[in-house]
Homo-oligomer: A and B are copies of this chain.
Amino acid sequence: MDNTNPQGQESSNRICRLFGIRYPIVQGGMVWCSGWRLASAVSNSGGLGLIGAGSLHPENLRHHIRQCKAATDRPFGVNIPLLYPQMQEIIDIIFEEAVKIVFTSAGSPKTWTPLLQSNGVKVAHVVSSSLFARKCEDAGVDAIVAEGFEAGGHNGREETTTLCLVPQVREATSLPLLAAGGIGSGAAMLAALDLGAEGVQIGTRFALAAESSASEAFKQRCLGMAEGDTKLLLKKIGPTRLATNGFSRKVQEAEDRGASAEELREIVGKGRAKKGIFEGEIENGMLEIGQVASQARRIEPVSEIMAGILDEYNRLASRKQPVFA
């Protein structure tokens, strides 16, 4: 585990210290993208990789954790949407496999945080408002991810953008803070730190990495996107950012004519995200991806994505912006 800077001193960055990582870059846990290959690649590059439990059956999660341990000796974690139906089983596996970092989302941080922490697990929780950030602090979580409107997949109801959200969460809590949503470059990472974050969580860029388990067809579709080619849809059942395709147009058309939550649930049906992301059904599947996809150019290995972001960040952080006197 390398959580020291080149001089061998402990990092002054709280995110790096908390998770024992070299760079304050966390790979977001994403359904059908972030198995052990992606997570271990990010951890091996000095960031924090997360296995996304949301699209894994419990025993499959155990398999991914074991593969990840074999593939890296650096820290990695598991992302658990707290609405997962078999939570107790998942938690048992986290303990049995001695996972030391868990990111939770989509539920109350109070329910599982104490149990996880009493078993030596560091807990970060994803929020979309400073109201929930304060609830996280009350629940005793170790870190917070503030995720804005531009993020892919499941999203907050308030529609607050990362630019507006991060300063408000920073003011609401003193916890170590990661910014998420719309971050896929060193410039955006620097902007996030200027706004008060201490690190970033990056989803979309890593969803399109070579090591992502998303299908080639999904990656190519997302890489060909223009600005405005994602939309926050399904607000009546749970806001979700999707790339435009036949399925999203069907949802949009239904929403435009006032379709009920029940009807929308029927249109979505079962396994729609798996179809779109994992199986590459580009027209009829659900394509969860963030706005920042239109900035991505090609499928790259994680090591190159990390190096590119860090090089740009370091270059911009070293170049002083003008002072206006």
Interface residue ranges, A against B (CB under 8 Å): 5-6, 12-13, 22-24, 129-131, 148-150, 157-165, 167-168, 181-183, 185, 187-188, 190-196, 226-228, 231-232, 236, 255-259, 291-292, 294-295, 310, 313-314, 316-318, 320-325
Contact = CB atoms under 8 A, between A and B. Distances in A.
Contacts of A317: 320-323
A85 B206 CA distance: 48
Given A195-B188, A314-B323, A129 B167 contact: no
A126 B163 CA distance: 19
A188 B129 CA distance: 18
Contact of A227 (B165, B181, B257): B165
A167 to B, nearest CB: 6
A244 B295 CA distance: 33
A190 to B, nearest CB: 5
Nearest to A254: B258
Interface of A is mostly: loop
Given A164-B291, A232-B159, A258-B257, A321 B194 contact: yes
Contact of A150 (B157, B161, B167, B292): B161
A314 B321 CA distance: 9
A150 B129 contact: no
Contacts of A168: 227, 294-295
Given A129-B228, A236-B256, A163 B148 contact: yes
Contact of A256 (B182, B192, B258, B294): B258
Contact of A187 (B23, B148, B161, B195): B195
A259 to B, nearest CB: 8
A205 to B, nearest CB: 12
Contacts of A294: 164, 168
Nearest to A325: B6
B196 A187 contact: yes
A163 B165 CA distance: 12
Contacts of A5: 325
Nearest to A163: B182
Given A167-B185, A256-B258, A130 B227 contact: yes
A27 to B, nearest CB: 16
A316 B161 contact: no
A164 B150 contact: yes
Given A160-B291, A191-B191, A191-B194, A23 B165 contact: no
Nearest to A172: B227
